[in-house]
Structure 1
Amino acid sequence: MTQMKRGPQKRGKVYGIGLGPGDPELMTLKAARLIREAAVIAYPTLAGGASFARSIAADFITDGTREIAMDVPMTVARGPAQAAYDQGASEMATLLDSGQDVVVLCEGDPFFYGSFMYLFARLKSAYDVEIVPGVTSVTACAAVAKLPLVARNEVMTVLPAPLLVGTQNRQNADACHTDILHNADTIIVMKLGRHFAAVRALIEAAGLTENSVYIERATGADEIVKPLKDAPETAPYFSMILIVKGADPWL
């Protein structure tokens, strides 16, 4: 009796799923379907705690789904986070090599400051990867603030707060702040957290406080939307300031 040779094992596929800013109803239909159908999901956690990404998708995760939780430390040092992504990618690779697909959950959009991009860099050369885009925090904040961001030929700049505050340590810092805050029609300052007070002071010094809106946890149950002058004294990581100058009347 002649034995038939088996072909090589078909590898599984990676899906990077954008979940949107927090409200599960802002997930795309495709994202919801893929999560419901997933046999394996992966997601980041913070310091061993609950996962924000998983909490958004919780109602779509079915019983029996295998879960890969990656504990990603939020530290200035790059090493600990890179080690967490290395470990997560390795665990995924084992399952992918066995033919299983893996759905990776990412709040917001996978390629807009998304944690998924670090896994993508590790897996893209060996596996088929599909990206499912999501509503970004920027567009969600504009929506809840009811604030159009840019029109026609206006320019928008997105700045992580650590970068803006970090210019204080550079030569000619005051000129650098002036350039950053004055050269764009709209400025988005993200990832406020412990940098909030310093960012707030820079915006005040630039004379832009009246053009600024503070948004915290957009689309979530504990959402806060206030003019920057009325904002709380402290801000979480998931907060943002929209500075919209409105130079173009859009008419």
Structure 2
Amino acid sequence: MRGKLYGVGVGPGDPELLTLKAVRIIQECGALAVPGREKEETVSYKIVCQAVPEAAEKMCLELEMPMTKDKEKLEQSHEAAFAQIRKELDEGRNIAFLTLGDPCIYSTYIYMHQRAAAAGYETEIINGIPSFCAVSAKLNQGLVENSQMLHIIPSTYGIEEGIHLSGTKVLMKPGRKLGQIREELSGLSSCQVSMVENCGMEEEHIYRRAEDIPEQAGYYSLLIVKEQKL
């Protein structure tokens, strides 16, 4: 009997934000999978091991998935990663692929999910708390009210048009474009800009004004741009 692949969202960083269902699935699965060459350096794995200590004793597939926009390299890495997963599924092992936040939102897991489903394997997504919800809670504020719209924008793919959308804008993983983003946001006088770096993790930093945001910040940074009420 072939195994089942689970995409398990582990939340944004705080181990206490793992859902009860995520904990149960991790405990029940025969193997884990993480996007990284060394599991001990993988953020999702470290989060899980704090909340589910026995996870450290499980088999773990370390899947090399480089951060690149090169479609050919991405395809090759995804195929190689799925080959590792497929081998264990064929051995009858259920696998929990650990992913930060929620597996449905800009997650590496979904590429494995699509391949597994297309190949006839059983799959299931276990939702996690999204990073932008955790950041909003950390800032002690809501994201949207009444008829306001919410826009989730991947910052590395260009934000020139996105930041002018009406409502609340969530700018995910700004990375090296943070300086450019600050420039773009400087012209928005009617917006409140906040950023949290490493939300729920040890190196967490909170910035409540656009002018306080540094030129550079860690990969796990997220900005919230809210329209001010007039």
Question: TM-score if structure 2 supplies the norm length?
Answer: 0.91
Question: What corresponds to 1:76 in structure 2?
Answer: 69
Match of 2:25 among 30, 34, 38: 34
Distance 1:184 1:223, change over 3 A: same
Runs of 4+ more than 4 Å apart: 46-49
- The Cα offsets for residues 10-36 of structure 1, whole Å up to 9 and x where unpaired, read as 211111100000111100011112212
Identical amino acids, percent of aligned pairs: 27
Aligned-CA RMSD value:
2.0
Q: In the alignment, which residue of structure 2 is the partner of 1:157?
A: 151
Q: Secondary structure at the match of 2:200?
A: coil
Give CA deviations for 1:22-75 in whole Å, capped at 9, x if unaligned.
111100011112212222110101699811111111132445421100111112
Letter in 1 for 2:157: L
**Contact 1:186/1:242 (CA < 8 Å) preserved in 2?**
yes
Q: TM-score, normalised by structure 1?
A: 0.83
- Counterpart secondary structure, 2:115: helix
Question: Deviation at 1:146?
Answer: 1.2
1:89 is aligned, of 75, 82, 92, to 82
**Structure 1 residue 103 corresponds to structure 2 residue 96:** yes
How far the C-alpha of 1:136 sits from its partner, in A, is 0.4
Aligned residue for 1:220?
201
Larger radius of gyration: 1
Residues 49 and 67 of structure 1, relative CA distance in 2, 3 Å threshold: closer
Is residue 229 of structure 2 the alignment partner of residue 247 of structure 1? Answer: yes
Change (3 A) 1:64 1:214: closer
Q: How far apart are the structure 1 equivalents of 2:141 and 2:113?
A: 33
In structure 1, the gaps of 5 or more residues are 1-9, 168-176
The secondary structure found in structure 2 opposite 1:93 is: helix
User: Could you say what secondary structure the match of 2:41 adopts?
Assistant: coil
Residue 218 of structure 2 aligns with which residue? Answer: 236
Instruction: Give the Cα–Cα distance (whole angstroms) in 2 for the partners of residues 63 and 222 of structure 1.
Output: 23
Q: Deviation digits for residues 169-198 of structure 1, max 9, x if unmatched?
A: xxxxxxxx4xx3333211111111100000
Instruction: Give structure 2 stretches of 5+ with no counterpart.
Output: none
Give matches, 1:173-184, under 5 Å: 177=161, 180-184=162-166
Q: Kindly tell me the number of residue pairs found equivalent between the two proteins.
A: 226
CA distance in 1, matches of 2:38, 2:18: 26
After the TM superposition, which residues 51-66 of structure 1 pair with which residues of structure 2 at under 5 Å, given as runs?
51-59=42-50, 60=52, 61-62=54-55, 64-66=57-59
State the partner residue of 2:167: 185
| Aligned residue type for 2:168 | T
Shift of 1:155: 0.7
Q: Do the aligned partners of 1:53 and 1:105 also contact (CA within 8 Å) in 2?
A: yes
Paired letter, 1:15: Y
Structure 1 residues 13 and 47 mapped into 2: Cα distance closer, same or farther (>3 Å)?
Answer: closer
- For the structure 1 residues 182 and 32, does the alpha-carbon distance in structure 2 shift closer, same or farther, using more than 3 Å as the test? same
Residue number among 42, 45, 70 corresponding to 2:36 in the alignment: 45
Secondary structure of 1:124's counterpart equals helix
C-alpha distance in structure 2 between counterparts of 1:99 and 1:46, whole Å = 24
Between the aligned partners of 2:185 and 2:82, the Cα distance in structure 1 is 40
Please identify, of 48-57 and 225-234, the stretch whose mean Cα deviation from structure 2 is larger. 48-57
